[in-house]
Amino acid sequence: MMRDVLVIGGGPAGIAAAETLLSLGKNVTVVDSAPFAGGVPLELSCKGDIECTRCHVCMPRDAAARIRPSECLEVVPMASIQSVAIEGDVIKVNAKISPRYVKPDACIGCGKCAAACPVVGALVAPPHGSIPNAPYVNRELCAHFTSKKCNECAKVCPTQAFNFKERSKESRTEARAVIVATGLEPIDPSAVQHYGYGLYPDVVTSLDAERIISKYGELRKPSDGQKPKKLAIIQCVGSRTTKGGVEYCSKFCCKYGLRIARALVERSPDSQVDFLYMDLRTFEPRADALSWIGDKKNFMISQGVAAKVQMSAAGKLAIKRTTQGDASIEEGEYDMAVLSIGGQPRPETKVLAAHLSLPQDGFGFISADDAKRRIFVAGSCKGPMDIEESFSDGQAVGARAAACLGVRQ
């Protein structure tokens, strides 16, 4: 079927672009590589406790809940782009769709399968606000594929939505315009060896921390499941560095780092949180960003990131850092360290940019779009952006694409 716009990537920017295009009367196909469209925010936790702190994690989810697949909107999850051909006014995209083993049209989301599944993690239930609102089967864990022919989920399903015979298939989409919104992927901090990520279990990334908070409702140490008494949040891990990371500033880490700190400090007044940063690059005024601290004793914010994380003799994490104001070097003992990691362009972005012959900068960001050929770029695949920014960029690019297509005859 001929579509007005094909949106590649279903993250904040992709969803926002799709919503804007739908409101302007265009029909849209969204292709996403993940099982659920919604992007990185689906994995993050709400950081508002007493009041909303505007972390904007819910923003793309709410947008995804507003737009539901219909005649005008098709969402293709678990797809990887195979080839792109531009023939005159039409852009033809071939994608390979991995099997989901659940028919999204048939599923009614009753959740009985998730309760029946004997293997943890084999059947992944849809998070709130994701499209499609149907689970998917992780082939690597599912007992139907690994050992014996388990069929528990299919037995309880009231609508016969399971199909274990599904194979990956090809999908062809023809569109008059393309919006590339592939976004970022988190930087793996194992390359930053002096922080000991992967070596010490209680050194976690901010993404890990958010997953723990999402799961348990509070932060717990991975080593023994206890609440940390003293915690360090180390900013700029893998960003603004030439060693084991990227040279640019990832822009959103200050925003979420401070909000995680706030949530932790407000939820557990008995644990100490130290926030170590290079520059505070939040965009609300600094006083606003820090106004919640008030006279709280259990929060310390200090300019200057940590130099090294080691294991001390007492089995705790010893973090070496310079103190603010007198440039002396101090070593503190902590129960846990959260590394605020940045983002880098996905490898898919590079392949796609080559397919569409879009220019890329040295880091792999797409530096310009091509309105003449109706190829647009939205969101954080053209530079680091936070959720809010890439959402409004998606809206803006969606509007531009719609204007470029003009009124349909």
Beta carbon of residue 261, minimum distance to other proteins (angstroms, whole number): 17
Q: Is 249 in the site for other proteins (CB under 8 A)?
A: yes
Q: How far is the CB of 83 from other proteins (least distance, A)?
A: 30
In the complex with other proteins, the residue whose CB is nearer, 15 or 81, is 15
User: 114, 280, 351, 405: which one contacts other proteins (CB under 8 A)?
Assistant: 280
Binding mask 69-108 for other proteins (x = CB under 8 A): -------------------------------------x-x
Asked if residue 329 binds other proteins (CB under 8 A), the reply is no
> Which spans in 68-141 are helix H?
112-116
Q: Which string of x and - marks every residue 282-311 that binds other proteins (by CB under 8 A)?
A: -xxxxxx--------------xx-------
Output the smallest distance, CB 13 to other proteins, in A.
Answer: 10
Q: Which of 43, 152, 208, 388 binds other proteins (CB under 8 A)?
A: 388
Collect all residues with Cβ–Cβ distance below 8 Å to 78 and sequence separation of at least 6. 32, 33, 34, 35, 97, 98, 99, 100, 136
Site string for other proteins, 8-27 (x = CB under 8 A): --------x---x--xx---
Given the complex with other proteins, which of 195 and 277 has the nearer CB atom? 277
For residue 305, what are the contacts with CB-CB under 8 A and spacing of at least 6? 234, 235, 236, 276, 277, 278, 321
Under a CB-based contact definition with an 8 Å cutoff, are residues 3 and 173 in contact?
yes
Read off φ and ψ for residue 177, nearest 5 degrees: -145, 155
Rounded distance, CA 156 to CA 173, Å?
35
Shortest reach from residue 326's CB to other proteins, in Å = 5
**β-strand partners of 91:** 86, 175
DSSP, residue by residue, 191-246: G-GGGTBTTBTTEEEHHHHHHHHHHHSS---TTT-PPPSEEEEEEEESSS-SSSS-
Q: Which residues pair with 106 in a beta bridge?
A: none
Is 52 a binder of other proteins (CB under 8 A)?
yes
Residue with tokens 């994380």: 309
Q: How many residues interact with other proteins (rule CB under 8 A)? A: 63
* Residues near other proteins, by CB under 8 A: 16, 20, 23-24, 48, 51-52, 54, 56, 58-59, 62, 68, 106, 108-110, 133, 158-160, 240, 247-251, 279-281, 283-288, 303-304, 322, 324-327, 361, 363, 365, 383-385, 388-389, 391-400, 402-403
